[in-house]
Amino acid sequence: MTVQEIASLIKENTGAQVRLDEPMANHTSFHIGGPADLLVIPGNMEDVRSVLRIAQEYALPLTVLGNGSNVLVRDKGIRGIVLKLGNALKYWKQEGNVFTFGSGISLAQCCRIIGEAGFTGMEFAVGIPGSLGGAVFMNAGAYDGEIKNAVMSVLVLASDGELKTLTKDDLQFSYRHSALQGSDAIVLEVKLQVCAGDKTAIQAKMADFNQRRISKQPLELPSAGSAFKRPEGHFVGAMVEQSGLKGFRIGGAEVSKKHAGFIVNVDRATAADVLQLMAYIQDRIMKDYSVQLVPEVLVLGEE
């Protein structure tokens, strides 16, 4: 079947939004990326299951995206279907100190809901962009906190179309990693277990973290957050700055003048610009510090 026919099939069998040749620059915080053959925005879990079934039946590659805040899509785009969950699965409910969220809810909204209910344990994540599902996928963290500390369990759609519940042990969390990164499972729902706390203190802590982020990070320019994972015993931004690379630019991609741990899109940058800049930084830091920088940004799409 042609991509157009697949699009029609998805429209007939789901309530999802379907777009052909959709520029991924419109769906990533970097504002970079070539077209997806087919972008699908599901309305509910059943839409997700239907899209997975269709992709498998017609042997189409399936790429799952949250809010696109920690990804770089290559300039030729993504073949097959891109399933964007960040605009769907935003429900939530509370049972005591356990909160259940659809994976498409933003991490910031999740933190505010928990904080406003008077529970502590998620303040660290209030300023992290992206969806909750994406945060679990990469074990997002900031200010000495990580999502793994609050995760109780995760409901996923396995590649065989079955719903499965994964425990914290199943997820094998480590620094910026979970077992989800080595699987085809799609995160649908997340249970977080938190502790009762003082609402005023929780709100103050979140306000403090937000202010720190605003003052230190280049939020005024498109980026994908920290470009590299933090090597043990080092800080990426400090090394890059001390190597004289703050403000260094290739094409439209630049090492942020505000925080050298970020690469920002200053002038219609391409994915090739960003990748060349990342490689340059890696080479320089290896020469200056004998430290191998590992990208934190997930690179997707056709080279």
**What number of other Cβ atoms are within 10 A of residue 190's Cβ?**
27
Q: Which of 226, 241, 254, 256 is catalytic?
A: 226
Catalytic (active site) residue 296: yes
What token pair was written down for 279? 């490689």
**Between helices 107-116 and 199-216, what is the axis angle to 10°?**
150
What does the DSSP 8-state code read for residue 24? G
Dihedral of alpha carbons 220, 68, 130, 217, sign:
negative
Catalytic (active site) residue 232: no
Catalytic (active site) residue 284: no
Q: Which of 49, 50, 131, 176 is catalytic?
A: 176
Residue with tokens 């990804």: 71
Q: What is the per-residue DSSP string for 34-63?
A: -EEEEEEE-SSHHHHHHHHHHHHHTT--EE
Identity of the residue numbered 8 = S
**Between helices 45-57 and 3-13, what is the axis angle to 10°?**
150
Active-site residue numbers?
A: 176, 226, 296
